[in-house]
Amino acid sequence: MSSLNAPPRKQRVHDDMVQDIRRQIEGGMLTADNYLLPERELAKKYQVSSRAVREGLAKLEVEGLIRRHQGRGTVVLAREVVTAVSQPISAAKNIAVIFQGRVRDTSTAEEFDCLQQAFQNEGYGTALYVADGDPEKETRIVQRLVSEGVPGMVLYSSHPRTSYSHLKAAEDAGMKVVVFDHDFPELNCNFVGIDDQLAAYEATEHLIRLGCRELLFINSERDWTTHILRERGFDQAAAKCGGHLPKRVIRLPNCETPAQLGSRLRDELAANLGSMQRPLGIVVWWDEMALSAISCLRDAGWSVPSDAAVIGFANDLSGEVADIPLTTMAIPREEIARLAAATLVSQMRDSSRPSQRIRLKARLIIRESCGTYRNRGEDSEQLSTANMQTGL
């Protein structure tokens, strides 16, 4: 049968997704080192099955447009020839979003989706980059964005506060910057995030209300404003509300993987639990490590929440569906993304606008890792948060 008489090719389920991603790559909206959304988010966006997403990505990979990495996500590859399409989004109308890593996390995907929608409403495209927790890679990405004339950047930085020359250079070149997660007070960039000190204060206060006899804060040893302010809030609540209660702080070193970090946490808890009083109140700077702490406690024969109450930060899905659901300080991700986009766009349109530092209130979500006031004793003193301000 001749090709003229061949029946039309049946459209595959993934074709729309493949065509859209190919169009974004060829039009410059997705460039080399950009990461695509996780497969689950792609399935939701294009309303196809996970299998269809995998088939579509496999087709794009065969074409040499992308490369899939197990556990890291799907990255756009560099191309020697870029085919022009009508009305491409230029670098001047593209906002860069740089994550530290773990782009496959549900929370990260939600944040990027919110940012993408907010910028799209303002007429800007978004390009996603992942630094894989590598400060040097982050520096190279920022330098490249500056050379390409990208006007604005949203950054979840992997750099410590003492090493930000790449951000200073971006500012000096006229790029407008919004940072998330941890602030760089020495720079003139924007910051949008939660009030970390107040959040840790309220988490610690809640544990004191429950009648905990000793307090523990599990933190990272990184010199980031996030960690500094949360530990400061813990100390302040312990001093102001806890009176004579003993308290300790465990600072975990920076590790390459969460598994290594969890191993260090297990060692630290094993060395300290024997001398701690029950019920013990524990605040952990990150939900994933809070869940690891619960696992370590149970392995050591401690009951949660009877022997120890645990509070994390983030409100990730993993904490909600855990064997013992995690009490957490929820971060208002959609509001942060909306404010970040609005702040950045307004400053790009009017360079005379001063930078802003916006800190939103986190919300305490009480789940089984803390129990309730009733099952922890109704005679516990009810303290008023309104009378205990952090002074920020």
Query: Is residue 308's pLDDT more than 80?
Result: yes
> 329 or 108, which is more confident?
329
Q: Give pLDDT tens digits for 250-260.
A: 999 987 677 88
- Give the pLDDT confidence score for residue 1 in this predicted structure: 39
Q: Which of 329, 290, 321 is nearest to 308 (CA)?
A: 290
pLDDT score at 29: 81
Distance CA 197, CA 70 (A): 36
Q: 221, 251 in Cβ contact below 8 A?
A: yes
pLDDT band at 291 (very low <50, low <70, confident <90, very high): very high
Looking at residue 25, its pLDDT comes to: 85
pLDDT of 356 reads: 92
User: Looking at the domain covering 15-192, what would its CATH class be?
Assistant: alpha beta
Residue 32: pLDDT band by 50, 70, 90 thresholds? confident
Arithmetic mean of pLDDT, 299-316: 95
Mean per-residue pLDDT of the chain = 82
User: pLDDT value at position 81?
Assistant: 36
CB of 286 within 8 A of CB of 250?
no
> Is the backbone of residue 220 left (phi > 0), alpha (psi -120 to 50) or beta?
beta
What topology does CATH give the domain 196-331+362-387? Rossmann fold (3.40.50)
Task: Say if residue 377's pLDDT is above 70.
Answer: no
| Cβ neighbourhood burial of 378 (10 Å; 0-12, 13-18, 19+) | exposed
Confidence (pTM): 0.73
Q: Is residue 89 a contact partner of residue 125, using CB atoms and an 8 Å limit?
A: yes
250 contacts 296 by C-beta, under 8 angstroms: no
Residue keyed to tokens 């930060």:
313
pLDDT number for residue 9 = 41
Determine the pLDDT at residue 79. Answer: 58
Specify the pLDDT at position 90.
Answer: 52
- Express each pLDDT in 51-104 by its tens digit: 888 888 877 876 678 877 766 678 888 754 333 333 334 556 789 998 876 554
CB 292, CB 319: distance < 8 Å: no
Give dist(CA 56, CA 271) in Å, integer. Answer: 50
Closest CA to 258 of 220, 226, 223, 216: 220
Q: Worst-scoring range by mean pLDDT, 6-15, 216-225, 360-369? A: 6-15
Confidence of residue 351 (pLDDT cuts 50, 70, 90): confident
Residue 372 has a pLDDT of: 60
What per-residue confidence (pLDDT) applies to 179? 92
Is 387 or 228 the better-scoring residue by pLDDT? 228
Helix (H, G, I), strand (E, B) or coil at 95: strand
The answer to whether residue 5 scores a pLDDT higher than 70 is: no
Same fold, 15-192 and 196-331+362-387: yes
pLDDT of residue 107: 65
C-alpha 250: how far from chain center:
22
Q: What is the C-alpha separation between 114 and 119, in angstroms, rounded?
A: 9
Beta bridge partners of 294: none
Least confident of 75-79, 237-241, 354-358: 75-79
Per-position DSSP letters for 235-271, written without gaps between them? HHHHHHHSTT--EEEEEEPP-SSHHHHHHHHHHHHHH
DSSP 348: H
Picking from 85-89, 214-218, 309-313, which range would have the lowest pLDDT averaged per residue?
Answer: 85-89
Q: What is the pLDDT of residues 172-195, one digit of tens each?
A: 999 999 998 778 888 889 999 999
Question: What is the end-to-end Cα distance of the chain in Å, rounded?
Answer: 78
For residues 202-229, give the mean pLDDT.
Answer: 94
Number of H helices and E strands in the chain, helices first, is 13, 14
- Residues with Cβ within 8 Å of residue 228, at least 6 apart in sequence: none
Neighbours of 167 (CB within 10 A): 24
What is the b/e burial string over 296-318, where b = at least 16 CB atoms within 10 angstroms of the residue's CB?
bbeeeebebbebbbbbbbbbbeb
Domain boundaries defined on the chain: 15-192, 196-331+362-387
Residues across the chain? 392
Measured torsion, CA atoms of residues 41, 42, 44, 50, in degrees rounded to the nearest 10: -100
Tokens of 178: 């919004």
On the question of pLDDT at 233 being above 80, the answer is: yes
Collapsing DSSP states into helix, strand and coil, what is residue 297? helix
* The pLDDT value given to residue 164: 85
Distance in angstroms (rounded) separating the CA atoms of residues 343 and 122? 12
User: What pLDDT, on the 0 to 100 scale, is given for residue 100?
Assistant: 76
Lateral strand order in the sheet of 247-252: 247-252, 214-220, 280-284, 308-314, 327-330, 363-365
Write down the residue that tokens 């959609």 correspond to.
Answer: 334
- pLDDT tens digits, one per residue of 141-171: 999 999 989 999 999 887 777 788 899 999 9
Query: Mean per-residue pLDDT for 324-345?
Result: 92
